[in-house]
Amino acid sequence: MDAARRMWSTKAVMAAPRDGLVRLTHIIYGLHAFSAVMGVISSAAVVTAFLTGWPSILAVILNYARRSDVRGTYLESHFRWQIRTFWFALLWVVVASILLVTIVGIPLAWLVVVVTGVWVLYRIGRGWLALNDGRDIGA
């Protein structure tokens, strides 16, 4: 079976999520966005505000707590997207921290933090737009 047909048949059997779960997913995107925007308008970097801000931490906890409720719906891809965004951002901050320890790596560490911040904003925006359209994120 070709990939396009498998994708179509998989989407055809996906259950429709409850309205409350769609609303919760919007709230989770909002919590992530709030943390990221705090990084834009404050002295913190986007990625550090995203990773250390209580709204984002609460959002990831909600993702893990309600993950089983969205299994089999298009929201499952959004929860996976949100969780991966958080953990990959953390990974890149760890890489930047290691680079920061080396004097020659300071400019590269700064670049990693900035690029990761832009990447976080992109993933929040792309995911939220897909959710608003009622479709999976395709990741």
- Whether residue 10 lies inside any domain: the answer is no
Residue 6 scores a pLDDT above 50: no
- Whether residue 103 lies inside any domain: the answer is yes
- Whether residue 3 lies inside any domain: the answer is no
* pLDDT of res. 98: 93
- Whether residue 47 lies inside any domain: the answer is yes
- Per-residue pLDDT band for 5 (boundaries 50, 70, 90) equals very low
Residue 15 DSSP one-character state? P
* pLDDT of res. 91: 95
* pLDDT of res. 13: 54
What pLDDT, in 10s, does the model give residues 42-98?
A: 766 888 888 888 999 999 999 999 999 999 999 999 999 999 999 999 999 999 999
* pLDDT of res. 4: 44
Residue 41 scores a pLDDT above 70: yes
Is the overall model pTM greater than 0.85, yes or no? no
Q: Structural domain of residue 50, as residue ranges?
A: 16-132
Residue 124 DSSP one-character state? H
- Whether residue 39 lies inside any domain: the answer is yes
Total structural domains within the chain: 1
Buried b (16+ CB within 10 A) or exposed e, 33-58: bbbbbbbeeeebbbbbbbbebebbee
Q: Please check whether residue 114 is in contact with residue 99, taking contact to mean a CB–CB distance below 8 angstroms.
A: no
- Three-class SS state of 1: coil
Across the range 102-130, mean pLDDT stands at 92
* pLDDT of res. 104: 83
- Whether residue 68 lies inside any domain: the answer is yes
- Whether residue 6 lies inside any domain: the answer is no
Residue 7 scores a pLDDT above 60: no
- Whether residue 7 lies inside any domain: the answer is no
